[in-house]
Structure 1
Amino acid sequence: MAKSIEFLNFISLRGPSIWTYAPVLEAWVDIGELEDYPSNTIPGLYERLSTWLPGLIEHRCSYEERGGFLRRLAEGTWPGHIMEHVTLELLTLIGMSNGFGRARETPIRGVYKVVVTAWDEDVTKQALITARDLLMAAIEDRPFDLTAALAALAEIKDDRFLGPSTASIVEAAVARRIPFIRLSDSSLVQLGYGAARRMIWTAETGRTSAIAEGISRDKDLTKSLLQSCGVPVPEGELVESADAAWQAAQSIGLPVVVKPEDGNHGRGVFTHLLHEHEVRDAYVQALAEGSGVLVERHIPGIEHRVLVVGGRVAAAARGEETAVIGDGVHTIEVLIERQINSDPRRGTTENHPLNRACIDSAARMELARLGLTEQSIPAVGERILISRHGNVAHDCTAAVHPSVAAQCVLAARIVGLDIAGIDLVMPDISQPLQAVGGAIIEVNAGPGLLMHLRPASGEPAPVGQAIVDHLFPLGDEGRIPLVGITGSHLQAETACLVHHLLQLTGRTVGLASSHGLFVKSRLIAGGDQANRLAANRLLVNAGMDMAVVENAARVILGEGLAYDRCAVGIVTDIDVPQHLGAFHIDSPEKVFSIFRTQIDVVLPDGVGVLNADEPMIAEMAPLCDGAVIFCSQQPESAVIAAHRAAGGRALVWSASGITAYQGDVVWGVFVPIETLPAPMAVMAAIAAAWALGLNAELIRAGLTTWVSGRVCNALA
């Protein structure tokens, strides 16, 4: 019998959804005839999977114990569930652990939903496809090239994922509950929402000025500015010819350094030059790496990199010389491979803190001084210097002398950089700079963080956290007041009224709703804008002080929420039959899971606004991390009575008007106006405004001006 597993659909849920808070990819999978073949009926399946993927032993599954999934596999489970775990293990093997996974049946026989964490949709989709192929090979007892499959997955990950520097900043932001939005396929990331947002691009921020960055690229100008402020820098000058380079070297005094005026990554830098031919040769090669050439006094010592963030030293690393020891048998070229590049810390990827050593022009110059080439065979025990500088990847943060730290902070301030990599040369960073004859040689914008995150020796430094703390003082989570609203029938008019009331604060308020996308009272986009894309336009708008977002059930099921958390979450009403059918929703319990999503994301200091007259909605109260305001059209409601008895807030509609209670205290009374929306929508809007600090008088004014001021009529 032919067995197969087919993908029917992929749904990318990029925000909180019925599954979890994190982005996930939901795959609809048809296992066909395999529905009749659980894992325990397929000979050898357990052995093949556990051999190919030994890490599956760590999957706890429903038994909540190590080996739980393998136990399920032995007892009998279905391909959808197996695909979930295989996908998660594949992602773990390429460095993406701590994933979420679920596999659930649908009302259609043989069709399952397989849901896994999707920090990147392309990577996760390919992981699911690879998991299907691996599982089918295991079922059919065919070979499977796992190494090649993992390499292909890792290649997609490396191409799509944030680099380690940017990722460390984002991870630090997430740890502080600061939301983020990736704005491009590169490393441009927004931290926070709206007017509270901050921008990062690797180790540059929105506070990194173009002028400061330009100054840092001009090494001669940087040195001049530092010198004028008393910061120790090497004496030197900008030259325009090989003759001028030699003249400058003689004037400065040998040995000297020759380097590009605006180079980077150490390319074209020649140190400890002692002879005329060395200076002339170095000039030619340095010129090829930049637009000009600098000749500077050689500073004896070790190269160091000090990272300055927001006026403080966040980390420091030192370099080391690279050399080989002769054995009387092998060439220098071979010794480099055996003695240096064999170090597992060396490589060409971001996982390697040290670069591979090679014979470049600077190394050839060092060898030429000894009358050697890369093909020479040094005597036994002879030490051959390959590079004087580089490999700045050994943590020395704790050793930085306070005066050295102060000089580095001053250098960053002089250039104008909020984040700077200060390069200095000195024998011992634990001593004052001037006392050991050291000097600052460069100030760099957008410094690499990898040497601090994954040092070759020493402890990693929390540089991502330092950058986040610089951008967001403690207590600032980069959020604006955000109101999320969902329901079956009343969510649209509730959203419009909330938007109208909040505008009375005088702040810039945006609205993404089925009536359109608005900023203040200006229509930005017409038609149904109750979707993730429209909401995202509000969140990336730096002028947005507050936002109101309508979330239809189809958005929660098909896109996920646009935001991670909200200040106010509202559920107005639920019409269960209306939501049955689509997305395999086939029970009231599944309908409940749709709308609870809005309450699940309320912040701990936020408020959930719930319709107390619908039991399904009232049951969501315990799910809210924040406080709850109940709304009811039944003055004798038992839910309201119990809530008020506990000191909770509630709004009650009666013939005399809407009364807002804080426990037993009447907070405000509002007279209904015929032109207002449905009672529950009005109460929910008042509750949202109350939760966000509007007083009763201002809310009354908003209700009375609704007809002329409501945004939803702007299209008429």
Structure 2
Amino acid sequence: MTNKKDLEFLRVTHLRGPNIWTYRPVIEVVVDIGALEDAPSNKIPGLNERLEAWLPGLVVHRCGVGEHGGFLERLRDGTWAGHILEHVVLELQNLAGMKTGFGKTRSTGERGIYKMAFRTRDEHVGRAALAAGRELLLAAINDTGYDLAAQVAALKELVDDHCLGPSTAHIVEAATERRIPSIRLTDGNLVQLGHGAAQRRIWTAETERTSAIAESIASDKDLTKSMLKSCGIPVPEGSLVRSAEEAWEEAQDIGLPVVVKPYDGNHGRGVSLNLMTEADVTAAYELASRKGGSQSVIVERFIAGDEHRILVVGTEVVAVAKGESLWVTGDGKSNIIELVDSQINTDPRRGTNEDAPLNALAPEKGAEIILELQRQGLTAYSIPQDGQKVLIQPNGNVAWDVTEKIHPSVAHAAALSARVVGLDIAGVDLVCEDISRPLDEQRGAVIEVNASPGLLAHLKPANGEARPVGKAIVAHLFEPEENGRIPIVGVTGTQGTSLIARMVGCLVNLTGIHVGVASGQGLYLDHRQVVKGDCIKWEAGQRLLINRTLKTAVFESNARMILTEGLAYDKCQVGIVTDMEGIEGLAEFYIRDIDDMANVIRTQVDVILPHGVAVLNAENEAVAELAGLCDGRVIFYSEDPDNAVVAAHRTAGERNVIVRAGSIVLADGADEAVLLPLAALNPATVKYPASVLAAVAAAWALGVEPEIMAAGLRTFDPAAKHAPH
């Protein structure tokens, strides 16, 4: 214990998988609050008022009270600095745009020392929020100043730098709602949904089904248009040109007004609309060639109407957004820049980061805006007369949801456009006056088909209903009955767990299924050892989960891994617990007795799926008691056929694996079936009968046929470098 009025972090640990606190990643902190042990919140003058003033969002923290304002009630009644820090850190993350709500603080039993955990979606942000939370809390305790705005701004930058973009995060959340696991594969937006052979991959609005050829076609606007036209989809008349002179000649041939745009552009960059003069066409050509990075530019007939972005996923239209022109009205005093800032950029939906559905505009920098102003005889620094309306941007503001209004024939044309190009997810740009009427009634046309379309216009429309596009993308990737999971077996304990893991892998592999095993002896793919040494590590486990060939994976873990990293998987089909030994080696984690140890080891049982199975050692009382925590079924194993736990389980009609008369027996309720004599095992294996029983129980839970189990057990050699087939 220390006597200082301070908060000292004794250890900070990022638990990346299921742990003693929760199923999700958390940061765990061992904090020494020192002299603050004698100063709960109700004994520090002004503390509560300062916290509420700085962080008004604390009012929604329910805390242990379980209702709105619960945490503030705890503050008024008196709570300690470790608990306060938990809520301050959570609220800082929320203010930074990374919504989190889970946190817990527990005493370690040592005076002034607490273990605190809080949910975080990114380690960098979480650690920074922890440091900022400590500074803020100490400032509130000591009544000193604190620049909250600057700290939140810094945290927001970290969120932008390290967290998934909003579109990708929305898809991942939709997968999570369907209980499909996810793994972030890079620091960017490449994400794996599902595990092993059941996985799919996304990169924002691209999927592993998105063809590179289709993307190339979509980026070639002239080729796209010719393909659409050949299939009867209305497109604007136009041609590819390679000089400003050709652009003007083509414009005259088509008939004014025209549109000029890059042949390989996207997101509306370099597009100029409604051009009427040679000077406008020439300037637009220069802009388009510069933005597209090529002399090749498209000149096409201008179509009157509003721009629409139609999101097609698979074969269905899932969202439609409408664009609008942007204007400002002069006051006789302000220039265009000032008018845009006061009349357009004040819209809270506009911003410069990915979270904003609409972009903030800079008339003095945006080439398209500069050109549009030039056509009106203006610059960004011109001062329009009082009441004069000035067109700032004729396109690029597609953020008004009109999904419910689209005519079936228009939806069909959009879906067909995506299929013609070959994209599984496409943003089809279409111009028409009324999306609720057929295109042939109003000279409407498809102007572009885009790969990797932006989703924010549909997730955060400027007006109208947000659309569940993430749900549609996940449904496109996974059939209704699919959850992206492969059978996972977790083995936790200290007694023979490496042997059990390898044996389970061998027995399952004999069924013809590719299996990966991560254990204390190494990393195995089927019978082949690919990494030697201890692989009871989170990162080793991830190597198995991202392997697209694996249809089953087996993971060995122990209490130390759960306490330092968390399990490598979120859920499992089978969870095996052998024992709760090793308490003496965990003193640094404040694990002192069997109850503390059970709280750690139960993590393996907590993650078993509702249709899964816990395999528990009936001869260990503490292990057997974990049965009540399992959401699925339980198979007990015991060398003693008359074990009381086994007997009660059999009476309940449940499964057990026992030894009777020197043979391994599968006991299903009152029925018994001899698997094989122990004497038939390899001499090196028969030394560990309890491990054999645990492996048999796991294989039984996975549906391995008894004949295959018997054959595998006869040939399994624990000393072999390569487990035999």
- Spell out, residue by residue over 1:516-572, the C-alpha distance to the aligned partner (whole angstroms, 9 max, x if none): 101011111101112111111110111111111101221111110111001111001
Matched AA of 1:57: V
Q: Structure 1 residues 65, 362: CA separation in 2 closer, same or farther (over 3 Å shift)?
A: closer
Equivalent residue runs for 1:29-68 within 5 Å: 29-68=31-70
Which of residues 238, 263, 280 in structure 2 aligns to 1:236? 238
Task: Pick which of 185-194 and 318-327 moved more.
Answer: 318-327
Matched AA of 1:690: W
Counterpart Cα distance in 2 of 1:570 and 1:705 = 23
Partner of 1:696: 706
Contact 1:500–1:711 at 8 Å: present in 2 too? no
Task: Pick which of 68-77 and 499-508 moved more.
Answer: 68-77
Equivalent residue runs for 1:21-170 within 5 Å: 21-170=23-172
Quote how far apart the aligned CAs of 1:436 are.
Answer: 1.4
Equivalent residue runs for 1:362-377 within 5 Å: 362-377=368-383
1:324 aligns with 2:333: no
Q: Secondary structure at the match of 1:22?
A: coil
Which of residues 690, 693, 698 in structure 2 aligns to 1:683? 693
- Spell out, residue by residue over 1:86-117, the C-alpha distance to the aligned partner (whole angstroms, 9 max, x if none): 11122222233342111122244322211111
Quote how far apart the aligned CAs of 1:712 are.
Answer: 5.6
Quote how far apart the aligned CAs of 1:710 are.
Answer: 7.1
Partner of 1:218: 220
Task: Pick which of 131-140 and 574-583 moved more.
Answer: 574-583
1:296 aligns with 2:324: no
Task: Pick which of 660-669 and 237-246 moved more.
Answer: 660-669
Q: Secondary structure at the match of 1:660?
A: strand
Quote how far apart the aligned CAs of 1:365 are.
Answer: 4.4
- Spell out, residue by residue over 1:371-393, the C-alpha distance to the aligned partner (whole angstroms, 9 max, x if none): 44445554554433222222101
Quote how far apart the aligned CAs of 1:72 are.
Answer: 2.8
RMSD (CA atoms)? 2.0
Q: Secondary structure at the match of 2:201?
A: strand
Counterpart Cα distance in 2 of 1:71 and 1:368 = 61
Which of residues 508, 517, 533 in structure 2 aligns to 1:511? 517
Which of residues 645, 654, 658 in structure 2 aligns to 1:639? 645
Counterpart Cα distance in 1 of 2:613 and 2:674 = 18
Contact 1:579–1:591 at 8 Å: present in 2 too? no
Counterpart Cα distance in 1 of 2:668 and 2:528 = 35
Quote how far apart the aligned CAs of 1:578 are.
Answer: 4.5
Matched AA of 1:162: L
Contact 2:14–2:26 at 8 Å: present in 1 too? yes
- Spell out, residue by residue over 1:281-323, the C-alpha distance to the aligned partner (whole angstroms, 9 max, x if none): 1111111111221111111111110111111111110101112
Counterpart Cα distance in 2 of 1:453 and 1:566 = 33
Quote how far apart the aligned CAs of 1:248 are.
Answer: 1.1
Quote how far apart the aligned CAs of 1:135 are.
Answer: 1.2
Task: Pick which of 609-618 and 367-376 moved more.
Answer: 367-376
1:563 aligns with 2:569: yes
Q: Structure 1 residues 528, 304: CA separation in 2 closer, same or farther (over 3 Å shift)?
A: same
Contact 1:580–1:591 at 8 Å: present in 2 too? no
Q: Secondary structure at the match of 1:594?
A: helix
- Spell out, residue by residue over 1:341-363, the C-alpha distance to the aligned partner (whole angstroms, 9 max, x if none): 23222222334322234434444
Counterpart Cα distance in 2 of 1:351 and 1:521 = 48
Quote how far apart the aligned CAs of 1:704 are.
Answer: 0.9
Contact 2:580–2:594 at 8 Å: present in 1 too? no
Partner of 2:461: 455
Q: Percent identity?
A: 55
1:390 aligns with 2:370: no
Counterpart Cα distance in 1 of 2:128 and 2:367 = 43
Q: Secondary structure at the match of 1:127?
A: helix
Counterpart Cα distance in 2 of 1:41 and 1:593 = 33
Which of residues 340, 343, 349 in structure 2 aligns to 1:345? 349
Task: Pick which of 337-346 and 119-128 moved more.
Answer: 337-346
Contact 1:24–1:116 at 8 Å: present in 2 too? yes
Which of residues 546, 549, 560 in structure 2 aligns to 1:543? 549
Partner of 1:247: 249
Partner of 1:664: 670
- Spell out, residue by residue over 1:57-112, the C-alpha distance to the aligned partner (whole angstroms, 9 max, x if none): 33232333333333333333221111112111222222333421111222443222
1:501 aligns with 2:507: yes
Partner of 1:627: 633
Quote how far apart the aligned CAs of 1:459 are.
Answer: 0.5
Quote how far apart the aligned CAs of 1:457 are.
Answer: 0.3
**When the two structures are superposed, what TM-score results if normalisation uses the length of structure 2?**
0.95
Q: Structure 1 residues 357, 122: CA separation in 2 closer, same or farther (over 3 Å shift)?
A: closer
Contact 1:653–1:659 at 8 Å: present in 2 too? yes
Counterpart Cα distance in 1 of 2:422 and 2:123 = 39
**When the two structures are superposed, what TM-score results if normalisation uses the length of structure 1?**
0.96
Counterpart Cα distance in 2 of 1:96 and 1:398 = 31
Contact 1:496–1:711 at 8 Å: present in 2 too? no
Quote how far apart the aligned CAs of 1:329 are.
Answer: 4.9
Counterpart Cα distance in 2 of 1:379 and 1:77 = 62
Contact 2:716–2:723 at 8 Å: present in 1 too? no
Partner of 2:619: 613
Matched AA of 1:274: M
Q: Structure 1 residues 45, 579: CA separation in 2 closer, same or farther (over 3 Å shift)?
A: same
Which sections of structure 1, spanning at least 5 residues, go unmatched?
none
Matched AA of 2:172: V
Q: Structure 1 residues 711, 14: CA separation in 2 closer, same or farther (over 3 Å shift)?
A: farther
Q: Secondary structure at the match of 1:581?
A: helix
Task: Pick which of 56-65 and 612-621 moved more.
Answer: 56-65
Aligned length: 714
Q: Secondary structure at the match of 1:619?
A: helix
Counterpart Cα distance in 2 of 1:145 and 1:411 = 53
Q: Secondary structure at the match of 2:350?
A: coil
Quote how far apart the aligned CAs of 1:696 are.
Answer: 0.9
